Amino acid sequence: MTIKTITTQPFTDQRPGTSGLRKRVRVFQQAHYLENFVQAIFNTLSDCQGQTLVIGGDGRYYNREALNIILRMAAANGVGRMLVGQHGILSTPAVSCIIRKYKALGGIVLSASHNPGGPDADFGIKYNVSNGGPAPERITEQIFQHSLNIREYRTFDAADIQLDELGEQSLGDMQIVVIDSVADYAELMEQLFDFERMSQALRSGALSIRFDGMNAVTGPYAHAILEQRLGAPAGSVIRGTPLPDFGGDHPDPNLAHAQELAALMFSPHAPDLGAASDGDGDRNMILGKDCYITPSDSLAILAANATLVPGYAQGLAGVARSMPTSRAVDRVAETLGIECFETPTGWKFFGNLLDAGRITLCGEESFGTSSDHVREKDGLWAVLFWLNILAVRQESVQAIVQQHWATYGRNFYTRHDYEAVDAERAQALVDDLRRRGSELVGQRFGSVEIDYCDDFSYTDPIDDSVSHNQGLRIGLRGSGGEARIVYRLSGTGTQGATLRVYIERHEPDPERHDQDPQSALADLITLSQELAQIAAYTGRTAPSVIT
């Protein structure tokens, strides 16, 4: 085995987004493409000599090949030890957990999250830092700059690594440890939640659950924790085996892509709790019998009930949400007398707040919720949190939600996605709306008046870093309660652009809480389309996906 230095040329499209670098599989399969980006990571990590790194992925197509490429390059770049998930599998929250537990320098996550998998679909890679969270912007920018100037990369001339058996092996001077993908994460969950109480409820039949692993990475974790440790009956976990193409399905936990689960939860045979997670295990969807819980409401309800869970019994230091997420949790924070932060979209923005002890829970409207136990959103953690609350309160999901709304009011909320639109046209829409923002303030449209229009900027209260142009916010006042519309271009896709439009209205009257959100927000939905001239700019008369 020898170290080889390979001559290469830069690619100009390797700037990491909010969740790392995501491209089509065939882009990553180009000669030198993955290697260039990985070497840019190692060039940024000037202190990786002899250090420990963690690596694993969601098992999607190209996972094993990429993992072996990275292991050979890690050995050639002087990394001392690599902790690798068995079969190359680690959920994103498990990577964060393992980095923190073993005090690793960082970790490499191979995933495109909720994007489809397969030879003609998507792949992704991102670097997580020593706190277990995604690399902050200053590091991702350094990686990108290195990628633009790269002229060579280092690798080991060696055969593929054996990833299916637990244990140690070596590659040059680097130690490779294939670890149980689930064990460390499951141990952490037992420290946070009342496993005995949940197990009692599940084994006695007092509580039932159906979890959809979506043929993705969370399946093995759910089988091990829900069925084996907690005693949920066999079959409580469906689609629980990770597949390279996710079974041809879209591993995004929403009503459109978890149709079997949704049909069950709105049938006479529904269990008490329905849940799903995504490709890499960091997202979650929560359902009760005949009810779907928005991620925004889920975050607020977890915050309001946190002291029922052992790991959070001492109360919350604070909470945070991404800017487009509904303001439901803000009302809980106000009642609890704790801080509530509004951050840009992207989990990395929660990291400083968590590390500084300013917040305990955080979440995003895009099905991501978590706490200070890791530095990633965590799908199965959210499911266990709900299961713990149900075991303690012994009420239905629907009853808990309705009581929450009666106390805090209901934030009617929806997100309309216009996917794969022409990127230039989408940017022109945003630029035009930004230009007209000041002109819109004070104008009336039906029963509402525009109170403000701004382009959200965020100053991190810990390190004073500033992030500009994080989305356009339009605040509304008038009949029907305070409301807002938010426009943002998403950075998680691999084709064109996705325009996301978020519409929200607070309704304090319990007599109005049973309305369908699309009906309750119909006037604002129409206004959102007209204000931004969506049809004219995108050619779309309706969104691709509504959540």
Q: Are residues 345 and 372 in the same domain?
A: yes
Q: What is the pLDDT of residues 158-215, one digit of tens each?
A: 999 999 999 999 999 999 999 999 999 999 999 999 999 999 999 999 999 999 999 9
Residue 224 neighbours by CB under 8 Å, 6+ apart: 182, 186
Over residues 348-376, the mean pLDDT reads 96
Q: What is the CATH number of the domain that holds 488?
A: 3.30.310.50
- Given 408, 443, 459, the domain boundary residue is 408
What local confidence, expressed as pLDDT, does residue 39 receive?
Answer: 98
Confidence of residue 492 (pLDDT cuts 50, 70, 90): low
Q: Are residues 324 and 423 in the same domain?
A: no
Q: Are residues 197 and 170 in the same domain?
A: no
What local confidence, expressed as pLDDT, does residue 189 receive?
Answer: 98
Q: 484-521 burial, b for 16+ CB within 10 Å, e for fewer? A: bbbbbbbebbbebbbbbbbbbbbbeeeeebeeebeebb
Confidence of residue 545 (pLDDT cuts 50, 70, 90): confident
What local confidence, expressed as pLDDT, does residue 141 receive?
Answer: 95
The CA distance from 173 to 444, in Å, is 69
Confidence of residue 40 (pLDDT cuts 50, 70, 90): very high
Residue 273 neighbours by CB under 8 Å, 6+ apart: 207, 208, 209, 210, 286, 287, 288, 383, 386, 387, 390, 397
Q: What is the CATH number of the domain that holds 44?
A: 3.40.120.10
What local confidence, expressed as pLDDT, does residue 478 receive?
Answer: 83
Q: Are residues 326 and 216 in the same domain?
A: yes
Q: Are residues 398 and 416 in the same domain?
A: no
The CA distance from 486 to 172, in Å, is 52
Q: Are residues 356 and 417 in the same domain?
A: no
Active site residue 19: no
- Given 153, 179, 205, the domain boundary residue is 179
The CA distance from 144 to 157, in Å, is 26
The alpha helices in 245-378, defined as continuous H runs, are: 259-265, 295-304, 328-336, 348-355
Q: Are residues 365 and 259 in the same domain?
A: yes
Over residues 262-276, the mean pLDDT reads 97
What local confidence, expressed as pLDDT, does residue 173 receive?
Answer: 95
pLDDT at 494 over 60: no
pLDDT at 493 over 90: no
| Among the listed residues 487, 381, 383, 369, the one whose alpha carbon sits nearest the alpha carbon of residue 431 | 487
pLDDT at 462 over 80: yes
Of 96, 111, 113, 181, the active-site residue reads: 113
Number of structural domains the chain divides into:
3
- What does the DSSP 8-state code read for residue 193? S
Over residues 434-454, the mean pLDDT reads 93
Q: Are residues 373 and 426 in the same domain?
A: no
What local confidence, expressed as pLDDT, does residue 496 receive?
Answer: 80
Over residues 1-25, the mean pLDDT reads 93
The CA distance from 444 to 334, in Å, is 30
pLDDT at 297 over 80: yes
Count of beta carbons in the 10 Å neighbourhood of residue 276: 32
- Given 393, 408, 423, the domain boundary residue is 408
Confidence of residue 495 (pLDDT cuts 50, 70, 90): low
Q: Are residues 420 and 386 in the same domain?
A: no
pLDDT at 1 over 90: no
Q: What is the pLDDT of residues 227-257, one digit of tens each?
A: 999 999 999 999 999 999 999 999 999 888 9
What local confidence, expressed as pLDDT, does residue 265 receive?
Answer: 98
> Where in the sequence is the domain holding 41, given as residue range(s)?
2-179
What local confidence, expressed as pLDDT, does residue 91 receive?
Answer: 98
pLDDT at 479 over 70: no
Where do the DSSP E strands lie in 347-495? Answer: 361-364, 368-371, 410-421, 444-445, 448-455, 458-459, 466-467, 472-478, 483-490
What local confidence, expressed as pLDDT, does residue 106 receive?
Answer: 98
Q: What is the pLDDT of residues 389-400, one digit of tens each?
A: 999 999 999 999
The CA distance from 284 to 211, in Å, is 10
Mean pLDDT of all residues belonging to the chain: 95
Q: Are residues 383 and 442 in the same domain?
A: no
Confidence of residue 11 (pLDDT cuts 50, 70, 90): very high
Q: What is the CA radius of gyration of the chain?
A: 23
What the block records as the tokens of 440 is 């819109």
Amino acid at 351: G
Q: Are residues 462 and 371 in the same domain?
A: no
Residue 213 neighbours by CB under 8 Å, 6+ apart: 219, 222, 237, 238, 239, 240, 241, 242, 276, 277
Angle, helix 379-393 to helix 195-204, in steps of 10 degrees = 70
Q: Are residues 307 and 436 in the same domain?
A: no
Residue 337 neighbours by CB under 8 Å, 6+ apart: none
